[in-house]
Amino acid sequence: NRLSIADPIRTNDIMRKYKLRAKKSLGQNFLTNEKVLDGIVDASGLQADEIAIEIGPGIGALTEKLAQVAQKVYAFEIDENLIPVLADTLQYYDNIEVINQDILKVDLDQFVKDHNLEGKTIKVVANLPYYITTPIMLNLINSDYPFQSLVLMMQKEVAERITANPGHREYGSLTIAVQTQMKARIDRIVGRNSFIPRPKVDSAVAVLDRLPKAEIDIDDPVFFNKVVRSSFAHKRKSLMNNLLNWQGRTDESREKIKAIFEKCGIAENARAEQVSIDQFKQMAEEFKK
């Protein structure tokens, strides 16, 4: 009847025992709210024959919860000072492997192959370091290995951006980068008091499930991204103006873009944030012609 690692009493004991000072530069905010942790594990739907990949185990609060339900947990932690701490706090589990690596430098597709995990259901579950949420998330989404589901705690504002609908202030190129591959929703908002030390911002648990193959139908992702990024280049300019900056400010370009707008059902004075993902897909096809 040990206390969970996430129990604030135990977290403080561990930090005292190892003289740990949470490193701001590595986004170290340890979760000390067990209800939230249980909610994260529930949201992942992890089963006894499934694999969990965790990013940034910290002192192991989420890791131990994952180990209690999954077949195996692989946890990537960049901070070498935490490796002996994790060896101690997670000693009661034989299905956890902690890997001392920067997740941004890991070839996850190769990792899956090297560990004979192809054919397994692999879910990524993490309380992400906020300073690199976006690159980590986009790497996971665009990895050659198509992870089925990602349950990621992140800054609330980022979660709002990736789950936004057209017409909302938060809707932008990040929304589109995520929603062309994944169905995204917010599972819950988590206040800053659930962490030691307390961050300056609130958080949210986002659940991202891979879309069916047939719905991921972009022929030329590089060109599609070019169209999207050009469209959102200057948030306060109209879509037409942003696209003219990209295509060149000639009468010819203007006429071409007008015709494309008409085909895609986009108003002449529209802003990029009003354009749906399907309309962006259609626009990209038209520009390519």
Binders in 23-52 for ligand SAM, by CB under 6 A: 26-31
Q: How far is the CB of 94 from ligand SAM (least distance, A)?
A: 20
Binders in 206-225 for ligand SAM, by CB under 6 A: none
Q: Is 56 in the site for ligand SAM (CB under 6 A)?
A: yes
Angle at Cα 205 formed by Cα 272 and Cα 86, nearest 5°?
130
Phi first, then psi, for residue 15 (nearest 5°) are -65, -35
Interface residue with ligand SAM, options 14, 41, 61, 239 (CB under 6 A)? 61
CA distance 258 to 263: 9
| Binding segment (CB under 6 A) for ligand SAM, from list 98-106, 236-244, 266-274, 275-283 | 98-106
| Binding segment (CB under 6 A) for ligand SAM, from list 53-61, 139-147, 245-253, 257-265 | 53-61
CA distance 191 to 163: 19
Going by DSSP bridges, is the β-strand pair 122-127/96-99 parallel, antiparallel, or unpaired?
unpaired
Chain position carrying tokens 């994952």: 66
Q: Is 74 in the site for ligand SAM (CB under 6 A)?
A: no
Q: Is 76 in the site for ligand SAM (CB under 6 A)?
A: yes
| Binding segment (CB under 6 A) for ligand SAM, from list 20-28, 158-166, 180-188, 208-216 | 20-28
Q: Is 78 in the site for ligand SAM (CB under 6 A)?
A: yes
Residue nearest ligand SAM, Cβ-based: 56
Residue 45 CB: number of other CB atoms within 10 A?
14
**Cis link prior to 8 (omega < 30° from 0)?**
no
Q: Is 58 in the site for ligand SAM (CB under 6 A)?
A: yes
State the DSSP code for 207: E
Going by DSSP bridges, is the β-strand pair 182-190/203-210 parallel, antiparallel, or unpaired?
antiparallel
Q: Is 64 in the site for ligand SAM (CB under 6 A)?
A: no
Q: Is 90 in the site for ligand SAM (CB under 6 A)?
A: no
| Binding segment (CB under 6 A) for ligand SAM, from list 76-84, 181-189, 215-223, 256-264 | 76-84
Q: Is 190 in the site for ligand SAM (CB under 6 A)?
A: no
CA distance 85 to 20: 9
Could you tell me the CA-to-CA distances from 269 to 39, 138, 238, 256, 265 in Å, in that order? 44, 31, 6, 15, 12
Tell me whether residue 26 or residue 186 sits nearer to ligand SAM (CB atom): 26
In this structure, which amino acid lies at residue 180? T
Interface residue with ligand SAM, options 52, 55, 177, 243 (CB under 6 A)? 55
* Size of residue set near ligand SAM by CB under 6 A: 22
Q: Residues marked as binding for S-adenosyl-L-methionine?
A: 29, 31, 56, 77, 102, 127
Which of 97, 223, 120, 207 lies closest to 162, judged by CA?
207
CA distance 52 to 71: 8
Q: Is 117 in the site for ligand SAM (CB under 6 A)?
A: no
Residue 210 bridge partners (DSSP): 182
Which of 173, 244, 184 lies closest to 209, judged by CA?
184
Positions in the binding site for ligand SAM (CB under 6 A): 26-31, 55-58, 61-62, 76-79, 102-104, 127, 129, 132
